[in-house]
Amino acid sequence: MVLIKDGSEYHVGAFNGVFMQIVRDNVKIPKSEIELELDRLREEKQKNIDNLEGGELGEKTDREIYLEAQTKKREKYFVEFKKKYGIPSATTMEQLFAEVEKSDIAFLD
């Protein structure tokens, strides 16, 4: 007789030296401490993955907060930059920086 582990299920099998035949399916065996710890870690990792995929964390990192503040600051000063240099108000940063050489450097100054 042999004990066969299939994922998280156990089966009892009979082995005659050549073939193995399962004689009893889904036998209840108490889990060892290692298996309990592995299950806990697996559940924790899955919970973290679900949180990341679902966006349930809701907390912004310091980097995200900083980048948002920088973006708002750039947008605010870009409007003033366009007024100062007589650039049409419909012009975007991407358009201006792509079409006019060194305009990005002038904006940063």
- The domain spans of the chain are 2-54, 62-108
3-class secondary-structure state, position 58: coil
Q: Across all residues in the chain, what is the average pLDDT?
A: 84
pLDDT beyond 60 at 96 = yes
pLDDT beyond 70 at 20 = yes
Which pTM does this prediction carry?
A: 0.40
- 50-88 pLDDT tens trace: 877 765 455 677 888 888 898 898 888 888 888 888 888
Q: What percent of the chain has pLDDT over 70?
A: 94
3-class secondary-structure state, position 6: strand
d(CA 90, CA 80): 13
